[in-house]
Chains A and B, each alone.
Chain A
Amino acid sequence: MKNIMDYVWLVPFFPLVGFLLNGLLRNSLSKPLTAVIGSGTILASFVVSVLLFMEVKSGHSGTVVLFDFISFGKTSIPFAFQVDALSSLFLLIITGIGFLIHLYSTAYMHEESSLHYARYFSYLNLFVFSMLLLVLGSNFVIMFIGWEGVGLCSYLLIGYWFRNVEYSSAAKKAFIMNRIGDLGFLLAIFWLIAKLGTVTYVDVFDKISTLPAKDLNIIALLLFIGATGKSAQIPLYTWLPDAMAGPTPVSALIHAATMVTAGIYMIARSNLLYTLAPTAQTVVLVIGTATALLAATIALKQNDIKKVLAYSTVSQLGYMFIGLGAGAFTGAVFHVMTHAFFKALLFLGAGSVIHAMHHEQDIRNMGGLSKKLPTTHWTFLIGCLAIAGIPPLSGFFSKDEILAAAFAKNPVWYVLGVAGALMTAFYMFRLYAMTFRGQFRGTHEQEHHLHESPAAMTIPLVILAILSAVGGFLGIPALFAEHAHWLEKFLAPIFEKSAALQHPHEIPHATEWLMMGGVTALVIVVISMAWSRFAKYQKTTEDATGLGKVLENKWYVDELYEAVVTKPVNAFGKLLEKVEKYGIDMLVNGVGRSVQYASRQVRLLQSGQVGSYVLLMVIGIIILFVLQFFLKK
């Protein structure tokens, strides 16, 4: 009997089929059929993923080569999949959460015409397909294929409502910012080929320790440029908040749970490289910390429910990079998983609110929704508690693991990380209080239509809420119970080479207890502050001033980029066009004109045009040649 490993291709194959069916037959499919194809294919992938996961858990892993993709000289890049602990875990997250979001979408997108409904599901399937390629590939090129693929799907889905110019601009921005990062990724691949002659993970990490430190740092930094694009880190983060133009389930799937974690996956996959390149790893740590803080400050002042969550995503991704930078690879992957649970939950919850409020997204016009939307309310609250890091919910465990690693590296990182965590708690409960507590502040019409969402939307919310609540128990720190960290054991084969090189400082248990307790107490204080300020929020017409205004305007980073990058590029283009018109072309025409002048003097001797003379001559020669050829024959 063949091993389940040999069927790994089925995992991306199902969504591909879904994409093709929904994409090509979109004129003839009914909405329910589209929904069944769209969600069913993901469910099928999920089932195969679970089987693969069981196989990996029982100690097997392997590579399956499908066909030879590109080869030149000694370098061969096969189209191959690698199933191991890291990829099988990501498979579960992608297909599992992906399925819930597909299910949710069947109800959320119901108002669309059947044509666009099918278009939506085909894009969503294509996205899952690309993401699966990204994590399954056994070399960097296949990862890159998926990498660009998810960027493309993100572009298509952000601009899904393409009649709106603002939306399609946001889509374009996302694609271009991702492309900037992609260039870094590509150059890293080329560098690897030039130095090692291979891009297959197994071979690369076998040979990589032979490279000099300079090459290691360059490759690591180039890869990280790619990661900053996809995972929305400084300086390439500004596309992600704008990406909220897409339908809300898309925000949940792509811009929170899966695509943005691609950068984390990439670095976790290359963990040995970063362990060997400490300079690059420090850069990761610095950028991660800076992003976590910057995004958290912006989130404090946003009034769009999705924008708050978007900046919170950017900030949480920063935490994952702190983990990677501090060498806590397991902690980063752990946070990817728990974040996927609670951020998908929060976004879907927000979608449920937006659905009920008839596309209202401004939390200043909400309030008091807890009575009308009970399921949404409860699940959303669990999400908020999880992300704020209240024990024993999942976010507590994963964030704690990252912060502990940061402390071991240097207490400065720890303090900054805690500051970010406190801001997280504040803006999340500001959001919660303004949305669900106090008086309703919308129009009467909106109030009249308030209703809980259908089951297809609330079931995923409940499942995700349960996962957000208990997901943390997969990674119980040694502090509570020795050897209870299941995830660490599961992922150990992936990180073993790095672990052998690392010498983390052990933190005394007493210190750890103190830190954990202290942070939790502070978080609770901050939550109560947010509660007291915003639970009875009333609309004001006052404009923010000073720092508040700067935060509302996101530190003016978009404006800065516009002035420093976009405008100069366009101006340079205009300049070159002038050069083209009046410089090079004039020169060429000038030469032509002087020749013409000379020929005019000669022309006095002749009657016709020089051009036609030349032509006739050439044609004559050609005819001569041809005739001669046929005569000879």
Chain B
Amino acid sequence: MIPLITGLGLFFVRSESASKNLAFFSTLVSFALMLAAVSVWDSPHYLVYDHSWLGALNSRFHFALDGMSKLLCLLTVISFPLIIYGTWNNSYEDSNRFYGLLLLSQAGLLGVFLSMDALLFYFFWELALIPLYFLSSRWGGERRIPVTIKFFVYTFLGSLFMLIGMIILYNKAGQSFAYSDFLKLKMSANEEFGIFLLLLLAFAIKMPLWPFHTWQPDTYEQSPTPVTAVLSGVMAKMGVFGLLRWLAPVVPAATYQYGDNVATLAVIGMLYASFVALQQDDLKRLVAYSSIAHIGLMILAVFAPSFSGIQGVMIQMFSHGINILGMWLVVNAIEQQFGTRKISDLGGIAQKAPALTLLLVIVALANIAMPLTNAFIGEFMMFNGVLGSTATKFGIAYAVAGGLTIILGAVYTLRMIQRVFYGETNALTANATDISLNVQITLAIIVVAILVVGIYPKPILSLTEELSQQILNRMNLK
């Protein structure tokens, strides 16, 4: 079932001029299949696909669809058609290759979320990453070459550490890459710490965790917007997913012991990114830094864990993906129309483009976690979990310090809305028109998703309840 999607993705690499349509169609098919998969196979009868793969290395092609996989695969298959449709009017040279690579990346992402075998996981991890590297360096902005090299070296370095960690685990587990064998491992504190560091580094770069983040704003800025949307909407979740699947359950003692160190970095990162976001004039960089702050909260909730917090991370991975996608589509619509992303060059758009303004305001409110939007549920549960966490002595301090970003988030978001949308028009925006229908439809879908999840989050919360409990049990926490 799922390899079929992968196959579809690969198939389109060779498709010709109608590639955009085909790509869109392909993502829709993936979406329909995924929806079917989620609704038909209910836990605990997970959908499992297990087949021998690299026999010599005892690595198996083992996919399994549990609660967290369902959630993130859903996010992936929802995001891609929206990204393609929402940026329909963008035109790229060699569009067949552009969309082909995009789909390859989608296949990689789905693989990452489904893999139950470490080597397979690593393979898909790279498969998701490499197409984006080409996309950015071929279709990116002016400074794309140095920036993408930095991006590549940075993330590839992380991957290497991860590979080393996985190979050590492979040898410990008696020559097996199977996730279930990793969970059975008993390691000394030093061994755990070593593995913890190696894996953490890989995931920290990916998410990114302060201070390993400097590739991110540059890359987000220079990449074509659909790629940026994939990077921040879905790809960043690979890191958080990695923490919850491959780090915390595999080396629970080290995660518990060194949790405070990482949590402190996460809080620093949240505040740091929020303050830097205050100073940004480029819309893409603003969203990039706000994303670092939001992901920082997820990292915090993982390393100052509690049931409420982990559940919050789960739902927030989904919500953040949807919301930030909305932000990128707005940025894309503005850039396509005015040819600039500089906040100081814009102004007064609200008079000319009421639909865009309305939709943006709702997405922006979700971004700052207004109640009855999806992000409120996640942030509420995460902050609640951090403050009440029994795993750390500093839960209250983390929650208070991290809570300041709630205020700072409102400051930079409202400032952006005011400068871009309110006030009088200038020479550039005087003849602005409202967004095209495809963008309106895409944003409207996103807004509906924001509100539905925000008002009735139960279906999504119950999806991951069991798994969150298992993760906490591994760490001997309630």
Q: Which chain A residues have a beta carbon within 8 Å of chain B's beta carbons?
A: 67-73, 75, 115, 141, 144-145, 148-149, 152, 155, 159, 162-165, 168-169, 172, 175-176, 179-180, 182-183, 186-187, 189-191, 193-194, 569-570, 572-574, 576-577, 580, 584-585, 588-589, 592, 611, 614-615, 618-619, 622, 625, 628-629, 632-633
Contact = CB atoms under 8 A, between A and B. Distances in A.
A611 B410 contact: no
A152 B380 CA distance: 18
Contacts of B458: 67-69, 71
B457 A70 contact: yes
Interface residues of B, number: 64
B68 interface: no
Contacts of B381: 70, 72
Given A72-B381, A615-B133, A618-B126, 15 more contacts: A67-B456, A70-B377, A71-B461, A148-B371, A162-B421, A168-B422, A176-B411, A183-B403, A183-B406, A186-B383, A190-B388, A573-B278, A611-B152, A622-B126, A625-B123
Contacts of B311: 72
A618 B424 CA distance: 53
B370 A148 contact: yes
A190 B130 contact: no
A187 B275 contact: no
Nearest to B123: A625
B95 interface: no
A145 to B, nearest CB: 4
Nearest to B424: A163
18 contacts: A70-B377, A148-B370, A152-B370, A168-B418, A175-B410, A176-B410, A179-B410, A186-B383, A189-B384, A190-B384, A193-B388, A574-B279, A576-B276, A576-B279, A588-B150, A592-B150, A625-B53, A629-B53
Nearest to B365: A152
Given A163-B348, A584-B214, A592-B153, A172 B415 contact: yes
A585 B214 contact: yes
Contacts of B35: none
Interface in B378-410: 380-381, 383-384, 387-388, 399-400, 403-404, 406-407, 410
Given A68-B458, A152-B365, A145 B371 contact: yes
B55 A632 contact: yes
Contacts of B152: 611
Contacts of B133: 615
A208 to B, nearest CB: 17
A569 B414 contact: no
Nearest to B358: A23
Contacts, number: 148
A162 B350 contact: yes
A632 B388 contact: no
A369 B275 CA distance: 51
Interface in B110-141: 123, 126-127, 130, 133
A182 B51 contact: no
A632 B59 CA distance: 12
B194 interface: no
Nearest to B472: A73
B53 A632 contact: yes
Query: Which 5 pairs of residues, A with B, have the shortest CB-CB distance?
Result: A194-B388, A573-B278, A145-B371, A190-B387, A162-B422
B351 interface: yes
Nearest to B55: A632
A193 B389 CA distance: 11
Nearest to A169: B418
Contacts of B154: 588
A619 B13 CA distance: 15
Nearest to B54: A628
Contacts of A179: 406-407, 410
A575 to B, nearest CB: 8
A569 B371 contact: no
A611 B380 CA distance: 44
Contacts of B388: 190, 193-194
Interface of B: 51-55, 61, 123, 126-127, 130, 133, 149-150, 152-154, 156, 211, 214-215, 272, 275-279, 307-308, 311, 348, 350-351, 354, 365, 370-372, 377, 380-381, 383-384, 387-388, 399-400, 403-404, 406-407, 410-411, 414-415, 418, 421-424, 456-458, 461, 478
B418 A588 contact: no
Given A572-B275, A614-B156, A186 B406 contact: yes
A284 B276 CA distance: 36
B147 to A, nearest CB: 11
Contacts of A159: 422
A134 B351 CA distance: 32
Contacts of B54: 625, 628-629
Contact of B214 (A67, A580, A633): A580
Given A72-B307, A165-B422, A182-B406, A175 B414 contact: yes
Contacts of A141: 380
Given A145-B372, A187-B403, A588 B214 contact: yes
Contacts of B272: 576
B123 A633 contact: no
A68 B455 CA distance: 10
Contacts of B418: 165, 168-169, 172
A71 B304 CA distance: 19
A163 B422 contact: yes
A194 B127 CA distance: 43
A473 to B, nearest CB: 39
A622 B127 contact: yes
Contacts of A194: 384, 387-388
Nearest to B369: A148
A622 B424 contact: no
Given A68-B458, A176-B410, A622-B127, A190 B399 contact: yes
Most buried by A among B130, B150, B422: B422
Given A67-B456, A163-B422, A633 B51 contact: yes
B407 A183 contact: yes
Nearest to B368: A179
A68 B456 CA distance: 8
A69 B453 CA distance: 10
Nearest to A629: B53
A632 B457 contact: no
B400 A187 contact: yes
A73 B404 contact: no
A572 B272 CA distance: 10
A83 B403 CA distance: 32
Contact of B399 (A68, A69, A187): A187
B407 A176 contact: yes
Contacts of B410: 175-176, 179
Contacts of A152: 365, 370
Contacts of B407: 176, 179-180, 183
A8 B122 CA distance: 55
A164 to B, nearest CB: 8
A230 to B, nearest CB: 14
Contacts of B55: 632
Contacts of A162: 350, 421-423
Contacts of B403: 183, 186-187
A389 B311 CA distance: 54
A611 B149 contact: yes
Contacts of A625: 53-54, 123
Given A163-B423, A186-B406, A615-B130, A629 B275 contact: no
A169 B380 CA distance: 28
A438 to B, nearest CB: 39
A152 B276 CA distance: 25
B153 A149 contact: no
Contacts of B214: 580, 584-585, 588
A71 B351 CA distance: 42
Nearest to A67: B456
Contacts of B372: 145, 149
A75 B388 CA distance: 12
A219 to B, nearest CB: 12
B212 to A, nearest CB: 9
